[in-house]
Structure 1
Amino acid sequence: MIHVAIVSHGHENLLIASGMGGLRDAAADMHVWIKDNHPSPALKAYCLQHGISYTDDKPGLGFGENNNYLFDLISNSVGFAEGDSFIVMNPDITISADTITTLVENMRRDAFPVATINLYRDEQHLYVDANIRRFPNVISLLRMVAVRSLSEPYDKQSMTDACHVDWASGAFLAFDARHYRALQGFDTRYFMYFEDVDICYRSRQLLGKGVRFYPQLHATHTAAHKNRNLVSRHASWFFRSFLKFLSRRYFVYDRRSNLSAPK
């Protein structure tokens, strides 16, 4: 079974208009779960009508904690079977069910438990979304001054075959459910931003499984990029999460990896 987790923050109109990002009428082996952080009677009724699981419990959680909540909800209600997938997907993603099914088939074939696809910023798929990037490090602040980006995006235009990347945006991340559990989900110490960097780093550094990128599989992501306003609350969350990631990378994950490495 493929379980798709979507967290809505007042996105009911978008989700209803897009038919749950294109997944409303997915096959029986795919189930969509909605956590509504701004409870909407219209979204609740829509989900009930179309067989989509809906919850508005515990509104106001951060990105990682919301997705962990849905993972636990699935575990405790229907359970995860061997080979099941857990996919984290933003409400502003539009994708076909066939694309997700193909992604999961490729992940199983390649034996990689965490993966992503090629996101675009427009429906015609002309403008790429920088959803795959290299891990930030201690000199990333210099990069921020120069190009207003703390991490370096890959040149997706030159990538034609499936390959490994450092990390992928939490806008769309696919996990083998057992691997997500082994990672203990997202680190809830991040309220917003860098929890996707963190979980990808932990997957590679602590469990030996990097992120698999499938460039031939496409979806649309109409992102808002609220963190780009340097005086906004989102910018504050962004920079605090960046510093938190650097601290955990160098003083927790790398040390733990070195301690477990063979002598």
Structure 2
Amino acid sequence: MIHVAIVSHGHEDLLIASGMGGLRDAGANMHVWIKDNRPSAQLKAYCLQHGVSYIDDHPGLGFGENNNFLFDLISNSVGFGEGDSFIVMNPDITISPETIMTLVANMQRDAFPIATINLFRDEQHLYIDANIRRFPNIISLLRMVAVRSLSEPYDKKTMSETCHVDWASGAFLAFDARHYQALQGFDTRYFMYFEDVDICYRSQQLLGLGIRFYPQLDATHTAAHKNRNLVSRHASWFFRSFLKFLSRRYFVYDRRANISASK
């Protein structure tokens, strides 16, 4: 079974118009779970009508905590079986059920438990979404001054074959459910931003390889990029989360890996 987790923050109009991001009628092998952070009677009624699981408990949680909440809910209600998938997907993603089914089949064929696909910023797929990037480091602050980006995107125009990358945006991340559990989900110390970098870094340390990227599989991501306004609340979350990731990377994860390697 493929379980797709979507967290709504007032996205009811978008989700209804897109038919749950294209997954409303996905079929028996896929189930969509909506965690509504701003409870909407309209969205609740729509979900009940179309067999989508709607949850509005504990509104106001951060990105990682919301997805962990859904994972635990699924685990405790219907349970995860061998080979089941848990997919984290933004409400502004539009994708076909066939794409997700192919992705999961490819992950199982390749025996790799975490992956992403090729995201575009428009329906015509003319504008690339930089959803795969290299891990940020201490000198990333210099990069921010030069090009206004704390992490370096891969050049997806040159990537036509399946490969591994450092990390992928939490806008769309696919996990084997047991791998998500082994990672203990997202680190809830990040309220928003860099929790995706963090979980990918921990996954790489566990597996010895980064995220599996399938460039031939695609979807649309109409992102808002609210963190780009430097005086916004989102910018504050963004920079604090960046510093938190650097601290945990160098003083927790890398130190732990060095200790294990020395034994």
**TM-score, normalised by the number of residues in structure 1:** 0.99
> Deviation string for 1:79-128 (max 9, x for gaps)?
00000000000000000000000000000011110000000000000100
1:36–1:56: 8 Å Cα contact kept in structure 2?
Answer: yes
Which deviations, in whole Å up to 9, do the C-alpha atoms of 1:126-146 show, x marking residues without a partner?
100000000000000000000
Q: Quick check: 1:203 aligned with 2:199?
A: no
Q: What is the aligned partner in structure 2 of residue 245 from structure 1?
A: 245
CA distance in 2, matches of 1:143, 1:114: 28
Match of 1:161 in 2: 161
- For 1:45 and 1:32, locate their aligned partners in 2 and report how far apart those are by CA, in whole Å: 15
Runs of 4+ in 1 over 6 A off after TM superposition: none
Is the Cα contact below 8 Å between 1:114 and 1:209 reproduced in 2? no
Instruction: Answer yes or no: is the 8 Å Cα contact 1:113–1:209 preserved in 2.
Output: no
- Structure 2: tracts of 5 or more residues without a match: none
1:205, distance to aligned residue in structure 2 (A): 1.3
Partners in 2 of 1:143 and 1:250 — Cα distance? 19
1:208 Cα offset (Å)? 2.9
Shift of 1:174: 0.1
Quote the sequence identity (%): 87
**CA distance, structure 1, for counterparts of residue 3 and residue 261 of structure 2:** 34
Q: Aligned equivalents of 1:58 and 1:183: distance in 2? A: 23
Q: Give the Cα–Cα distance (whole angstroms) in 2 for the partners of residues 73 and 131 of structure 1.
A: 28
Q: How does 1:32-71 map to 2 (within 5 A)?
A: 32-71=32-71
> What are the ranges of 5 or more consecutive residues in structure 1 without an aligned counterpart?
none
> 1:261, 1:208 → 2: CA distance?
13
Q: Once the 2 structures are TM-superposed, how far is the Cα of residue 262 of structure 1 from its aligned partner?
A: 5.7
Given that 1:131 and 1:168 are in contact with CA atoms closer than 8 Å, whether structure 2 keeps it comes out as yes
- AA at the equivalent of 1:56: D
SS at match of 1:22: coil
Number of equivalent positions: 263
- Output the CA distance in 2 between the equivalents of 1:113 and 1:260: 23
Tell me how far apart the structure 2 counterparts of residues 90 and 63 of structure 1 sit (CA, whole Å).
10
Q: Is the 8 A contact 1:186 1:196 kept in 2?
A: yes
The residue correspondences of 1:1-263 to structure 2 (distance < 5 A) are 1-261=1-261
Compare 37-46 and 203-212 and name the one that shifted more.
203-212
Q: Aligned equivalents of 1:29 and 1:16: distance in 2?
A: 21
Q: SS of the residue aligned with 1:243?
A: helix
Relative to the length of structure 2, the TM-score reads: 0.99
